[in-house]
Amino acid sequence: MAIKYHEHATQPVFEIEVAGKITQADMDSVLPRLEAFLQRHGKVRMVEVIPTFEGFELSTIWEGIKFDVAHIRDIDRVAVVTDVGWIGGLTRALCRVSPLEIRVFDMAELEAARAWVEAP
């Protein structure tokens, strides 16, 4: 499984770690849990950790787009933690046009990213 999903115990914060190639099985496992988390909390914050990325199965693209469009207003702060250069660059470009508050952190800054997402 390329996606690990974890919910914060006391805050409306979830963390996703992506390592490798995202498959349809990953999406089928994570999206229902994430939907339930959003239903419980309304506005949430996210930490996305990407130590490695090998792409995704084509079948996951449409599902991912539909989820993002449906929930873009439900997530208000995102920390993207990666040393994968093009992901950091693409995310920084996205920050300029996204309604979300997004920051990019290096893998060595994982704890700082978590603290930023959890801060009031």
**Which tens digit of pLDDT belongs to each residue from 18-76?**
999 999 999 999 999 999 999 999 899 999 999 999 988 998 988 888 888 888 889 99
| pLDDT digits 0-9 by tens, 73-112 | 899 999 999 999 888 888 888 778 888 899 999 999 999 9
56 beta partners: 22
Residue 24 contacts residue 57 (beta carbons within 8 Å):
yes
Helix (H) or strand (E) holding 55: strand 44-56
For the domain spanning 3-118, the CATH number is 3.30.750.24
Q: Contact at 8 Å (CB) between 116 and 103?
A: yes
CA distance 21 to 35: 22
Give the predicted TM-score (pTM) of the model: 0.91
Residues 6+ apart with CB under 8 A from 55: 21, 22
The domain segmentation of the chain, as residue ranges, is 3-118
Instruction: Give the closest residue to 45 by CA, choosing from 60, 29, 34.
Output: 34
